[in-house]
Structure 1
Amino acid sequence: MKNITTRIKEIYPVSDEALEALLSCMREEIYPKHTIIVRSGSVDHNVYFIEEGITRSFFLHDGTETTTWFSEEGDITFGMGSLYYNQPSAESVETLERCKIYVIPISRLNELYENYIDIANWGRIVHQHGYNNLTHIFVDRLQLSPKERYDRFMKYFPRLINRVKLKYVAAFLGISIYTLSRIRSQKI
C-alpha cells in the first residue's frame, strides 16, 4: 500500500496508529480494465483507494459520456451522492487500466472519522481539495481557451496523457477530440 500511505501522509500527518486502523479496515480488490466500480443511479457503500491504475468518473447525458475526473495511484474515488448522502451516485467510476484498489465501507470510514481526529482531518482536507479542484475546472471551462485548459491539464495531470484515451481527456476539458488533436499537433 505504498502509493496509498504516501499520499495520505502528503495530505495530512496521520499518526501511525490511525493509519494502521484505516488500513486494517480495507480489503484488496483487483479490477480488470473497463470495470464499472461505481454505477450511476445506484447507492454504492464503499470508498476506493487506488494503489495501482487509473479510474475516471463520468456521467451519461443523451447518450454522450462526459468525463468529470481522473483518479490515479494514491487517490481515492467514490460515488459522491452515496458517500455524502447515502443516495444514488450521479456518476459512474470506471477503471481505465487493470487496478489494484483497496476498498473500505463508508460506514467503517465514518467510524474512523469519529474515533481518530487525524483521519477526520485528513478526510476534510481531501474533500476541500476535491471541491477546490472541481470549482477550478468549472471556472476554467467558462474562462479559459481550449489551449489554456489543455496546458493546465498537462500541468496538473502530466502522467495521464499517455495512459488514457484522448476522447476522455477531450470530454474532461469540455472540447472536441478534433480540437484536442489540433492543440496537441501544435505542441509537437
Structure 2
Amino acid sequence: MLKLFNYDLQNFASPSASKALLSKITVKKLAEYETILSPGQHQQNLYFIKEGVVRCYYQSLEMQWTNWFAAEGNPIFSTESFFSGNPSLEYIETCTPVILYQITREDYRTLMAEFPELYEPAFHLIQSYLHISEKRMYGSQMQTAYKRYEDFIETHRHIANRVKMQHIASYLGITPTHLSRIRREFAFKAYKNVAKINVGT
C-alpha cells in the first residue's frame, strides 16, 4: 500500500480520495547525489520517498549546513517554495539512490480542496516539522555536541549508516573530526553498558 506522510493511504483516505490521489501520482527514480531542488528554483512537485534517503542543506562558499534528512514514507518539500510559492533558499539532494512518488503542486492543492480528509495527515506533518525544528534549535543552543548526537541516533537510527559522516557532522553543527571523537565515545559507552548487562546476568 502507498505510504504518504508515514501513513498507509488506506488508513486516512476514503476509497474515492485514494483513487483520485493515486491517479495524480507518478514515480520518479534518481541516482545517488542527484539534486532535486536548488536555490532560486520554484518547487513545482511534492515528493514522497518510497525508497532511499534525501537531505536538505544550505551552502555558502565551501561550507554546507544540513537542515534535515528524510527517508521512506516522508515527504520532501521546501517550506518557502512549495507552500509560499517563493524561490527556494535551499538545496535538496539524494543521499542514496531513491524512488519517489510525485504529485504536482497544482494537483495537490486541488485534491486538498476536494477531499478535506487529506488535511489531517498534512496537519500532523506540520506539527512534526515544527516540533523537530524547535527541538533542533534548543539543542543547538542548550545541548552538548554529544547529546545532539545521541538525539540524532535516537530519531534517525534507520538512516545513520546510510549517509555520509560529513553530512551528519554538518547537521549537528560540528566538524567531522569532532564527530569521529563523539562516535568513539558513544560506541565505548554502549560497549560498557552491554558488558554491565552481561555481568549482571
TM range (shorter): over 0.9
Query: Residue 166 of structure 1 aligns with which residue?
Result: 165
**Alignment match, 1:96:** 95
TM superposition outliers: structure 1 runs of 4+ over 6 Å: none
Q: Which moved more, 1:14-23 or 1:73-82?
A: 14-23
Cα distance change of structure 1 residues 141 and 59 upon mapping to structure 2, 3 Å threshold? same
Are the counterparts in 1 of residues 70 and 76 from structure 2 also a CA contact under 8 Å? yes
Q: What TM-score, normalized to structure 2?
A: 0.87
Instruction: Give yes or no for contact 1:53–1:97 (8 Å, CA) kept in 2.
Output: yes
In the aligned structure 2, how far is the partner of 1:115 from the partner of 1:102? 20
Q: Which residue of 2 aligns with 1:154?
A: 153
1:35 & 1:88 partners in 2: Cα distance? 19
SS in 2 for 1:49: strand
String of CA shifts for 1:131-184, please: whole Å, max 9, x gaps. Answer: 211111111111110010000001100011110001100111111111110011
SS at match of 1:42: coil
- Helix, strand or coil at the partner of 2:12: coil
The alignment's C-alpha RMSD in Å is: 1.7
Which consecutive unaligned segments of at least 5 residues does structure 2 have? 188-201
Identity across aligned pairs (percent)?
A: 26
Q: Tell me how far apart the structure 2 counterparts of residues 48 and 117 of structure 1 sit (CA, whole Å).
A: 20
Q: Is the 8 A contact 2:5 2:74 kept in 1?
A: no
Instruction: Give the aligned partner of residue 21 of structure 2.
Output: 22
Q: Which residue does the alignment assign to 2:36?
A: 37
Asked if the contact 1:52/1:73 (under 8 Å) is kept, the reply is yes
Gaps of 5+ in 1: none
* 8 A contact 2:4–2:74 mirrored in 1: no
Rg (Cα) greater in structure = 2
* C-alpha distance in 1 between matches for 2:115 and 2:159: 33
Residue 173 of structure 2 aligns with an amino acid whose one-letter code is G
Q: In structure 2, what is the equivalent of residue 134 of structure 1?
A: 133
